[in-house]
């Protein structure tokens, strides 16, 4: 299953400059997702992180991984933000950064379901650039109904 930016926007409530997923290339509901983010020098965070050596902040790499987890979660339970639901990032474990993510990189984002129970999901995640590991983490998300 492939999702372009228009469909991604149906499954994520995030918008510029905080939407960090450009395309989903593979998705198996209840199992896994592969997506990517094209990292551009035009990203607003590069103005301050760091002006003479731009690096994507690690917390935003984690956020990008959490966003693909949200897409996988929404697709799995067949719900949408428009239905009044949101996925919150509620935890991260075993986070390790292995290489910086820089302008021009295509950041591949992968998540596999470890388990899901009563709206709490745990995922094994990896972010890579050209097949080289940039970040790995276990991410926990919680599905919630909002008013």
pLDDT of residue 46: 96
pLDDT of residue 147: 72
- In total, how many domains does the chain have? 1
Kindly tell me the burial class for residue 70, based on how many C-beta atoms sit within 10 Å of its own C-beta (0-12, 13-18, 19 or more). buried
pLDDT of residue 102: 98
Q: What is the domain-level CATH number for residue 73? A: 3.10.129.10
Q: Torsion-angle region of residue 47: left (phi > 0), alpha (psi -120 to 50) or beta?
A: alpha
Q: What is the pTM of this model?
A: 0.97
Query: What values do phi and psi take at 72, rounded to 5?
Result: -60, -45
pLDDT (tens, 9 = 90+) of the chain, 147 residues, equals: 799 999 999 999 999 999 999 999 999 999 999 999 999 999 999 999 998 999 999 999 999 999 999 999 999 999 999 999 999 999 999 999 999 999 999 999 999 999 999 999 999 999 999 999 999 999 999 999 997
Range of the domain at 106: 3-143
Task: Tell me whether residue 49 is one of the annotated catalytic residues.
Answer: yes
pLDDT of residue 1: 72
pLDDT of residue 59: 97
Catalytic hit among 14, 49, 52, 53? 49
């Amino acid at each position: 299953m492939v999702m372009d930016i228009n469909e991604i926007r149906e499954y994520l409530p995030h918008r510029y400059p905080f939407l960090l997923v450009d395309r989903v290339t593979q998705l198996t509901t209840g199992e896994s997702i592969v997506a990517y983010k094209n990292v551009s020098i035009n990203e607003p965070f590069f103005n301050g992180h760091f002006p003479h050596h731009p690096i994507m902040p690690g917390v935003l790499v984690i956020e990008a991984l959490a966003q693909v987890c949200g897409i996988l979660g929404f697709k799995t339970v067949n719900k949408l933000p428009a239905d009044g639901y949101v996925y919150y990032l509620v935890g991260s474990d075993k986070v390790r950064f292995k290489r910086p993510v820089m302008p021009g990189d295509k950041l591949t984002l992968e998540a596999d379901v470890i388990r899901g129970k009563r709206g709490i999901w745990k995922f094994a995640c990896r972010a890579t650039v050209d097949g080289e590991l940039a970040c790995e983490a276990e991410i926990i998300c919680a599905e919630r109904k909002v008013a």
